[in-house]
A = this chain, B = another copy of it.
Amino acid sequence: MGVTELPNELLDLSARADAVLARVLPPEDQPPAELHRAMRYAVLGGGKRLRPLLVYATGTTFGAPPDTLDAAAAAVEIIHAYSLVHDDLPAMDDDSLRRGRATCHVVFGEAMAILAGDALQALAFDVLAHDPTRDDPATHVEMLRVLAVACGSHGMAGGQAFDLAAIGRTLSPADLERMHVHKTGALIRASVRLGALAAGVRDAPTLDALERYGHAIGLAFQIRDDLLDIEGGTEQLGKTVGKDAAADKPTYPSVFGVAGSRTELARLAADALHAIEPLGASAAPLAALARFVVERQS
Protein backbone atom coordinates (compact mmCIF):
# COMPACT_ATOMS: atom_id res chain seq x y z
CA MET A 1 0.00 0.00 0.00
CA GLY A 2 1.02 3.62 -0.50
CA VAL A 3 1.64 5.55 2.68
CA THR A 4 -0.97 8.14 1.74
CA GLU A 5 -3.73 5.62 1.32
CA LEU A 6 -5.65 3.52 3.74
CA PRO A 7 -5.00 -0.24 3.70
CA ASN A 8 -7.95 -2.31 2.51
CA GLU A 9 -8.83 -3.43 6.00
CA LEU A 10 -9.34 0.17 7.07
CA LEU A 11 -11.17 1.03 3.85
CA ASP A 12 -13.60 -1.77 4.68
CA LEU A 13 -14.12 -0.35 8.16
CA SER A 14 -14.67 3.12 6.70
CA ALA A 15 -17.42 1.67 4.50
CA ARG A 16 -18.77 -0.13 7.55
CA ALA A 17 -18.96 3.20 9.41
CA ASP A 18 -20.89 4.70 6.48
CA ALA A 19 -23.39 1.84 6.61
CA VAL A 20 -23.83 2.12 10.37
CA LEU A 21 -24.34 5.88 10.12
CA ALA A 22 -26.94 5.48 7.37
CA ARG A 23 -28.76 3.03 9.64
CA VAL A 24 -28.73 4.99 12.90
CA LEU A 25 -29.72 8.33 11.38
CA PRO A 26 -33.51 8.80 11.29
CA PRO A 27 -35.00 8.20 7.81
CA GLU A 28 -35.60 11.25 5.61
CA ASP A 29 -39.33 10.61 5.36
CA GLN A 30 -39.86 10.45 9.11
CA PRO A 31 -41.20 13.69 10.65
CA PRO A 32 -39.76 16.19 11.21
CA ALA A 33 -38.56 15.32 7.70
CA GLU A 34 -36.66 18.51 6.93
CA LEU A 35 -34.63 18.17 10.13
CA HIS A 36 -33.86 14.54 9.36
CA ARG A 37 -32.83 15.47 5.82
CA ALA A 38 -30.47 18.12 7.20
CA MET A 39 -29.01 15.66 9.71
CA ARG A 40 -28.40 12.99 7.07
CA TYR A 41 -26.94 15.57 4.67
CA ALA A 42 -24.50 16.68 7.34
CA VAL A 43 -23.32 13.20 8.28
CA LEU A 44 -23.56 11.19 5.07
CA GLY A 45 -21.65 13.62 2.86
CA GLY A 46 -18.47 11.60 2.75
CA GLY A 47 -15.43 12.42 4.78
CA LYS A 48 -12.49 10.35 5.90
CA ARG A 49 -14.27 8.77 8.86
CA LEU A 50 -11.02 9.11 10.80
CA ARG A 51 -12.72 9.04 14.20
CA PRO A 52 -14.74 5.86 13.55
CA LEU A 53 -11.56 4.31 12.12
CA LEU A 54 -9.75 5.12 15.36
CA VAL A 55 -12.53 3.39 17.32
CA TYR A 56 -12.41 0.33 15.06
CA ALA A 57 -8.61 0.21 14.83
CA THR A 58 -8.21 0.47 18.60
CA GLY A 59 -10.99 -1.97 19.40
CA THR A 60 -9.88 -4.62 16.91
CA THR A 61 -6.29 -4.27 18.14
CA PHE A 62 -7.62 -5.70 21.41
CA GLY A 63 -9.81 -8.32 19.80
CA ALA A 64 -13.22 -6.63 19.89
CA PRO A 65 -15.57 -7.78 17.11
CA PRO A 66 -16.49 -4.84 14.85
CA ASP A 67 -20.19 -4.98 15.74
CA THR A 68 -19.32 -4.15 19.35
CA LEU A 69 -17.62 -0.97 18.08
CA ASP A 70 -20.34 0.23 15.70
CA ALA A 71 -22.24 2.42 18.17
CA ALA A 72 -19.16 4.20 19.50
CA ALA A 73 -17.82 4.64 15.95
CA ALA A 74 -21.10 6.18 14.81
CA ALA A 75 -21.32 8.38 17.91
CA VAL A 76 -17.94 10.05 17.43
CA GLU A 77 -18.58 10.69 13.73
CA ILE A 78 -22.00 12.17 14.48
CA ILE A 79 -20.39 14.52 17.01
CA HIS A 80 -17.75 15.46 14.45
CA ALA A 81 -20.43 16.14 11.82
CA TYR A 82 -22.44 18.32 14.21
CA SER A 83 -19.34 20.35 15.04
CA LEU A 84 -18.67 21.00 11.35
CA VAL A 85 -22.27 22.16 10.78
CA HIS A 86 -22.01 24.67 13.60
CA ASP A 87 -18.43 25.73 12.73
CA ASP A 88 -19.53 26.53 9.19
CA LEU A 89 -22.38 28.83 10.31
CA PRO A 90 -22.26 32.49 9.24
CA ALA A 91 -21.71 33.57 12.86
CA MET A 92 -18.76 31.18 13.16
CA ASP A 93 -16.42 30.45 10.19
CA ASP A 94 -19.04 31.40 7.59
CA ASP A 95 -18.02 28.68 5.17
CA SER A 96 -20.10 27.69 2.18
CA LEU A 97 -18.17 24.66 0.96
CA ARG A 98 -17.40 21.43 2.79
CA ARG A 99 -16.38 18.05 1.39
CA GLY A 100 -17.05 19.40 -2.09
CA ARG A 101 -20.67 20.29 -1.35
CA ALA A 102 -22.60 23.31 -0.13
CA THR A 103 -22.57 23.49 3.67
CA CYS A 104 -25.64 22.55 5.68
CA HIS A 105 -26.87 26.10 6.34
CA VAL A 106 -26.50 27.01 2.65
CA VAL A 107 -28.80 24.13 1.71
CA PHE A 108 -31.24 24.10 4.66
CA GLY A 109 -31.02 27.61 6.09
CA GLU A 110 -29.32 28.82 9.22
CA ALA A 111 -32.08 27.93 11.70
CA MET A 112 -32.33 24.36 10.44
CA ALA A 113 -28.53 23.97 10.47
CA ILE A 114 -28.36 25.08 14.11
CA LEU A 115 -31.11 22.59 14.95
CA ALA A 116 -29.55 19.79 12.93
CA GLY A 117 -26.31 20.25 14.84
CA ASP A 118 -28.17 20.23 18.14
CA ALA A 119 -30.13 17.13 17.24
CA LEU A 120 -26.98 15.37 16.03
CA GLN A 121 -25.23 15.96 19.34
CA ALA A 122 -28.20 14.38 21.14
CA LEU A 123 -28.26 11.53 18.62
CA ALA A 124 -24.63 10.67 19.34
CA PHE A 125 -25.45 10.11 23.02
CA ASP A 126 -28.63 8.30 22.04
CA VAL A 127 -26.76 5.90 19.74
CA LEU A 128 -24.03 5.18 22.27
CA ALA A 129 -26.51 4.81 25.16
CA HIS A 130 -28.54 2.31 23.08
CA ASP A 131 -25.52 0.22 22.04
CA PRO A 132 -27.09 -3.27 22.18
CA THR A 133 -23.74 -5.05 22.41
CA ARG A 134 -22.67 -3.61 25.78
CA ASP A 135 -22.91 -6.26 28.46
CA ASP A 136 -21.19 -4.33 31.25
CA PRO A 137 -23.32 -1.31 32.24
CA ALA A 138 -20.52 0.20 34.36
CA THR A 139 -18.22 0.36 31.33
CA HIS A 140 -21.16 1.60 29.29
CA VAL A 141 -21.60 4.56 31.66
CA GLU A 142 -17.85 5.19 31.52
CA MET A 143 -18.02 5.34 27.71
CA LEU A 144 -20.83 7.89 27.90
CA ARG A 145 -18.71 9.92 30.33
CA VAL A 146 -15.77 9.89 27.93
CA LEU A 147 -17.98 11.12 25.08
CA ALA A 148 -19.58 13.87 27.17
CA VAL A 149 -16.29 15.24 28.47
CA ALA A 150 -14.79 15.20 24.96
CA CYS A 151 -17.67 17.31 23.62
CA GLY A 152 -17.92 19.91 26.35
CA SER A 153 -16.22 23.08 27.43
CA HIS A 154 -13.12 21.17 28.52
CA GLY A 155 -13.09 19.38 25.17
CA MET A 156 -14.20 20.18 21.65
CA ALA A 157 -16.54 23.11 22.43
CA GLY A 158 -13.83 24.62 24.62
CA GLY A 159 -11.36 24.34 21.74
CA GLN A 160 -13.74 26.21 19.49
CA ALA A 161 -13.95 28.95 22.14
CA PHE A 162 -10.14 29.17 22.26
CA ASP A 163 -10.26 29.40 18.46
CA LEU A 164 -12.76 32.28 18.55
CA ALA A 165 -10.63 34.12 21.10
CA ALA A 166 -7.52 33.63 18.94
CA ILE A 167 -8.78 35.33 15.77
CA GLY A 168 -6.52 38.25 14.92
CA ARG A 169 -4.13 37.50 17.79
CA THR A 170 -0.65 36.11 17.94
CA LEU A 171 -0.56 32.83 19.83
CA SER A 172 2.36 31.26 21.58
CA PRO A 173 3.15 27.70 20.50
CA ALA A 174 1.70 26.55 23.85
CA ASP A 175 -1.57 28.43 23.27
CA LEU A 176 -1.85 27.08 19.73
CA GLU A 177 -1.34 23.55 21.02
CA ARG A 178 -3.90 24.08 23.80
CA MET A 179 -6.45 25.17 21.22
CA HIS A 180 -5.94 22.09 19.07
CA VAL A 181 -5.61 19.65 21.98
CA HIS A 182 -9.20 20.70 22.69
CA LYS A 183 -10.69 21.53 19.31
CA THR A 184 -9.75 18.43 17.31
CA GLY A 185 -7.69 16.50 19.84
CA ALA A 186 -10.37 15.84 22.45
CA LEU A 187 -12.67 13.88 20.14
CA ILE A 188 -9.77 12.03 18.52
CA ARG A 189 -8.44 10.93 21.93
CA ALA A 190 -11.98 9.98 22.95
CA SER A 191 -12.30 7.83 19.83
CA VAL A 192 -9.22 5.85 20.83
CA ARG A 193 -10.39 5.61 24.44
CA LEU A 194 -13.87 4.44 23.41
CA GLY A 195 -12.38 1.71 21.22
CA ALA A 196 -10.25 0.56 24.14
CA LEU A 197 -13.12 0.62 26.64
CA ALA A 198 -15.41 -1.23 24.22
CA ALA A 199 -12.72 -3.91 23.94
CA GLY A 200 -12.52 -4.21 27.72
CA VAL A 201 -9.03 -2.72 28.07
CA ARG A 202 -8.48 -1.90 31.75
CA ASP A 203 -4.77 -1.81 32.49
CA ALA A 204 -3.33 1.62 33.04
CA PRO A 205 -0.07 1.28 31.03
CA THR A 206 -2.00 0.29 27.89
CA LEU A 207 -4.55 3.07 28.37
CA ASP A 208 -1.69 5.52 28.91
CA ALA A 209 0.05 4.39 25.71
CA LEU A 210 -3.20 4.81 23.80
CA GLU A 211 -3.72 8.25 25.31
CA ARG A 212 -0.26 9.26 24.11
CA TYR A 213 -0.99 7.84 20.66
CA GLY A 214 -4.31 9.73 20.50
CA HIS A 215 -2.70 12.96 21.66
CA ALA A 216 0.02 12.75 18.99
CA ILE A 217 -2.42 11.74 16.23
CA GLY A 218 -4.77 14.57 17.11
CA LEU A 219 -2.13 17.27 16.86
CA ALA A 220 -0.53 15.68 13.79
CA PHE A 221 -3.91 15.67 12.09
CA GLN A 222 -4.27 19.41 12.70
CA ILE A 223 -0.77 20.25 11.49
CA ARG A 224 -1.36 18.25 8.30
CA ASP A 225 -4.66 20.12 7.90
CA ASP A 226 -2.95 23.48 8.27
CA LEU A 227 -0.23 22.50 5.78
CA LEU A 228 -2.83 21.27 3.29
CA ASP A 229 -4.69 24.57 3.68
CA ILE A 230 -1.57 26.24 2.30
CA GLU A 231 -0.48 23.60 -0.20
CA GLY A 232 -3.71 22.12 -1.50
CA GLY A 233 -6.21 23.28 -4.07
CA THR A 234 -9.89 23.85 -3.37
CA GLU A 235 -10.83 21.10 -5.79
CA GLN A 236 -8.58 18.55 -4.15
CA LEU A 237 -9.71 19.35 -0.60
CA GLY A 238 -13.38 19.92 -1.35
CA LYS A 239 -13.34 22.93 0.94
CA THR A 240 -12.25 26.53 0.69
CA VAL A 241 -8.46 26.79 1.00
CA GLY A 242 -6.32 29.67 2.21
CA LYS A 243 -9.29 30.35 4.46
CA ASP A 244 -7.40 30.33 7.75
CA ALA A 245 -4.93 32.97 6.69
CA ALA A 246 -7.74 35.05 5.17
CA ALA A 247 -9.64 34.85 8.48
CA ASP A 248 -6.50 35.87 10.33
CA LYS A 249 -6.51 32.61 12.27
CA PRO A 250 -3.34 31.37 13.89
CA THR A 251 -2.14 28.13 12.29
CA TYR A 252 0.87 25.88 12.79
CA PRO A 253 2.63 27.39 9.76
CA SER A 254 1.94 30.92 11.03
CA VAL A 255 3.38 30.08 14.44
CA PHE A 256 6.09 27.50 13.59
CA GLY A 257 6.70 28.29 9.91
CA VAL A 258 6.18 25.65 7.19
CA ALA A 259 9.47 23.88 7.82
CA GLY A 260 8.95 24.00 11.59
CA SER A 261 5.46 22.57 11.16
CA ARG A 262 6.82 19.68 9.06
CA THR A 263 9.40 18.95 11.76
CA GLU A 264 6.71 18.99 14.45
CA LEU A 265 4.52 16.73 12.30
CA ALA A 266 7.34 14.21 11.92
CA ARG A 267 8.06 14.29 15.65
CA LEU A 268 4.40 13.62 16.50
CA ALA A 269 4.18 10.81 13.94
CA ALA A 270 7.22 9.15 15.50
CA ASP A 271 5.74 9.62 18.95
CA ALA A 272 2.43 8.03 17.92
CA LEU A 273 4.20 5.00 16.47
CA HIS A 274 6.51 4.76 19.46
CA ALA A 275 3.57 4.85 21.88
CA ILE A 276 1.93 1.77 20.34
CA GLU A 277 5.16 -0.22 19.82
CA PRO A 278 4.60 -2.25 23.02
CA LEU A 279 1.26 -3.44 21.61
CA GLY A 280 3.06 -5.39 18.90
CA ALA A 281 1.80 -6.55 15.52
CA SER A 282 -1.87 -6.49 16.49
CA ALA A 283 -1.68 -2.69 16.52
CA ALA A 284 -0.93 -2.59 12.78
CA PRO A 285 -4.23 -0.79 12.01
CA LEU A 286 -3.29 1.96 14.48
CA ALA A 287 0.13 2.30 12.85
CA ALA A 288 -1.47 2.48 9.39
CA LEU A 289 -3.83 5.20 10.59
CA ALA A 290 -0.94 7.20 12.05
CA ARG A 291 0.87 7.06 8.71
CA PHE A 292 -2.29 8.04 6.88
CA VAL A 293 -2.85 11.04 9.13
CA VAL A 294 0.59 12.53 8.51
CA GLU A 295 0.86 11.72 4.80
CA ARG A 296 -2.67 12.33 3.54
CA GLN A 297 -3.08 14.62 0.53
CA SER A 298 -6.66 15.71 1.32
Stretch of A86-94, A200-208, A289-297 that contacts chain B: A86-94
| Smallest CB separation, A293 vs chain B (Å) | 25
- Does A141 have its Cβ within 8 Å of any Cβ on chain B? yes
Known: A138-B137, A141-B141. A122 touches B165 (CB 8 A): no
How far apart are the CA atoms of A91 and B111 in the complex, in Å? Answer: 5
Stretch of A33-41, A62-70, A220-228 that contacts chain B: A33-41
In the bound complex, residues from chain B placing their C-beta under 8 Å from that of A112 are: 161, 164
Whether A157 pairs with B91 at a CB distance below 8 angstroms is: no
Whether A141 pairs with B165 at a CB distance below 8 angstroms is: no
Known: A114-B92, A165-B34. A153 touches B121 (CB 8 A): no
- Contact for A119 among B34, B125, B153, CB less than 8 A: B153
Residue of B nearest to A79 (CB): B122
Contact with B along A124-148 (1 / 0, CB 8 A): 0110011000100110110011011
Interface centre among A92, A109, A114, A115 (most CB of B within 10 A): A115
How far apart are the CA atoms of A121 and B141 in the complex, in Å? Answer: 17
User: In the assembly, how many copies of this chain are there?
Assistant: 2
In the bound complex, residues from chain B placing their C-beta under 8 Å from that of A147 are: 125
Whether B141 pairs with A137 at a CB distance below 8 angstroms is: yes
- Contact for A111 among B125, B130, B158, B164, CB less than 8 A: B164
- Does A118 have its Cβ within 8 Å of any Cβ on chain B? yes
Contact with B along A49-91 (1 / 0, CB 8 A): 0000000000000000000000000000000001100100101
| Smallest CB separation, A42 vs chain B (Å) | 12
A-B contact list, 15 entries, CB within 8 Å: A26-B153, A31-B162, A34-B161, A35-B161, A82-B118, A86-B115, A115-B160, A118-B118, A121-B121, A122-B148, A122-B153, A123-B153, A125-B144, A126-B145, A134-B141
Please name 17 further chain A to chain B contacts, defined as beta carbons within 8 Å, in addition to the given A32-B165, A89-B114, sorted by A numbering.
A26-B154, A35-B157, A86-B115, A92-B114, A112-B161, A114-B114, A115-B164, A118-B157, A119-B152, A119-B157, A122-B148, A123-B148, A126-B148, A126-B152, A129-B141, A137-B141, A140-B141
